[in-house]
Amino acid sequence: MKPMQHDSGRVQKAPENFLDPQGIQKVIAEAKSGRRGFIRHAFAAAAAGVAAPVAMAQGNPVPPAGGDPYILQLPEHATGLGQGVATEGYGKPSKFESNIQRRQSPGLTQTSQASVSFAPLQSLFGIVTPSGLHFERHHQGWWDIDPSKHRFMINGMVKTPKVFTMDEIMRLPSVSRFHFIECGANTAVEWGNVAVPTVQYTHGMISCSEFTGVPLITLLEIAGADLKNGKFVLAEGGDGSSMTRTIPMSLITSGEVLVAYGQNGEMLRPENGYPLRLVVPGIQGVSWVKYLRRVEVGDMPYAAKDEAVHYMDLMPDGTHRQYTNIQECKSVVTTPSGGQVLLDKGFYNVTGLAWSGKGKIKRVDVSVDGGRNWRTARLETPVLSKALTRFNIDWIWDGRPAILQSRAMDETGYVQPTYKQLRAVRGTRSIYHNNAIQSWLIQENGEVKNVQLS
Ligand SMILES: Nc1nc2c(c(=O)[nH]1)N[C@H]1C(S)=C(S)[C@@H](COP(=O)(O)O)O[C@H]1N2
Ligand SMILES: [Mo]
CA-closest residue to ligand 1 atom 20: 272
The amino acid occupying position 189 is: V
DSSP letter at 447? Answer: B
CA-closest residue to ligand 1 atom 21: 136
Cα(297)–Cα(192) distance, integer angstroms: 39
Contacts of 40 (CB under 8 A, 6+ apart): 453, 454
Strands 378-379 and 389-397: antiparallel
Where b means 16+ CB within 10 Å and e means fewer, 50-65 reads eeeeeeeeeeeeeeee
Q: Which ligand is nearest to the CA of 243?
A: 1
Q: How much distance in Å is there from the Cα of 241 to the middle of ligand 2?
A: 13
User: Does the C-beta of 290 come closer than 6 Å to ligand 1?
Assistant: yes
Cβ-contact 283, 326 below 8 angstroms: yes
Q: How much distance in Å is there from the Cα of 370 to the middle of ligand 1?
A: 35
Q: Which ligand is nearest to the CA of 136?
A: 1
Q: Do domains 104-321 and 330-451 have the same CATH topology?
A: no
Domain boundaries, the chain: 4-75, 104-321, 330-451
Cis amide prior to 106 (ω within 30 degrees): no
Q: According to the CATH classification, is domain 330-451 in 2.60.40.650?
A: yes
User: Does the C-beta of 243 come closer than 6 Å to ligand 1?
Assistant: yes
User: Does the C-beta of 178 come closer than 6 Å to ligand 1?
Assistant: no
CA-closest residue to ligand 1 atom 10: 286
Q: How much distance in Å is there from the Cα of 128 to the middle of ligand 1?
A: 19
Q: According to the CATH classification, is domain 104-321 in 3.40.190.10?
A: no
Cα(440)–Cα(450) distance, integer angstroms: 5
Cα(313)–Cα(273) distance, integer angstroms: 26
What are the pLDDT tens digits along the chain (454 aa)?
A: 333 333 333 333 344 444 455 666 766 676 666 543 333 222 333 333 333 333 333 455 566 778 899 999 999 999 999 999 989 999 999 999 999 999 998 888 777 788 999 999 999 999 999 999 999 999 999 999 999 999 999 999 999 999 999 999 999 999 999 999 999 999 999 998 888 999 999 999 999 999 999 999 999 999 999 999 999 999 999 999 989 999 999 999 999 999 999 999 999 999 999 999 999 999 999 999 999 999 999 999 999 988 988 888 889 998 988 888 999 999 999 999 999 999 899 999 999 999 999 999 999 999 999 999 999 999 999 999 999 999 999 999 999 999 999 999 999 999 999 999 999 999 988 899 999 999 999 999 999 999 998 7
User: Does the C-beta of 136 come closer than 6 Å to ligand 1?
Assistant: yes
Q: How much distance in Å is there from the Cα of 216 to the middle of ligand 1?
A: 18
Q: How much distance in Å is there from the Cα of 137 to the middle of ligand 1?
A: 5
Q: How much distance in Å is there from the Cα of 243 to the middle of ligand 1?
A: 8
pTM for the full model?
Answer: 0.89
